Amino acid sequence: MKKLCAICGIRPGTTSDHIPPKGLYAKPYPMNMHTVPACSKCNQGGATADEIVKIMIGLSTGEARGDQSLVIESMQKTLAKNKKLRRKVFQSAERTFHHFNRAILSPAVAVRFDGKEYREVMTRIVRALYWVEKGSALGIAAKVTVDAFDQIEDPGQVALIQTVLNSTQPKHLNESTFVYRVVFDDAGNSIWGLMFFGAHLAIVSADAPAHFVADGLASAE
């Protein structure tokens, strides 16, 4: 019996999809990159969003990565091939200042992105990781909410997220370039912390799948 797609849980998983997407990485890629079974639609449908998120994460993590020159080169190649994305990046770029892990502010450039692609990629990653954790698909009907951790303004929410995620052990993939933590509650809901390259943290919450069973009773649709 063929496995179903880990992401949609509907179509047969006839291909393998990298988690996180291979498109987020600069070459050389980590050895033994993690994959899940995926249908061709889910596997191929996110390429454009992956390129945009690659630039977002590259800009936010580049200074913290040992392969900084490779990251810059990889982003340059992506922008050279994707004229629409290149135009979007240069049109939205604004001069600003940033600490860059130092006490003194230094000149920097900020680029604004629509959060749609970011949410799409993080949602796809969590759907795949749910399959890794539970052995079944979260399904496309389950509501998923995505936030970049540094964009959460409520101190109470930040403290709660930190407390919840720190109560569980981190799981390392792709030579620890990607680390995630997850906590499930009794109702089947989950909260995920996705750390990219040790410098970019996404917080994702997911409702329980429609097929979740608690105390012998199926949860409501």
pTM value is 0.86
**Using one digit for the tens of pLDDT, what is the confidence trace for 57-83?**
988 887 778 888 999 899 999 999 999
179: which strand partners?
172, 195
pLDDT of residue 60: 82
Residues 37-42 have a mean pLDDT of 94
pLDDT band at 219 (very low <50, low <70, confident <90, very high): very low
**Using one digit for the tens of pLDDT, what is the confidence trace for 142-157?**
999 999 898 888 999 9
Q: Which amino acid is at 81?
A: K
**Using one digit for the tens of pLDDT, what is the confidence trace for 197-217?**
999 999 999 999 976 655 444
Geometric angle at alpha carbon 68, from 63 and 72, rounded to 5°: 105
pLDDT band at 95 (very low <50, low <70, confident <90, very high): low
pLDDT of residue 114: 74
Give the burial class of 195: count Cβ atoms within 10 A of its Cβ; 0-12 exposed, 13-18 middle, 19 or more buried: buried
Question: H/E element holding 145?
Answer: strand 144-148
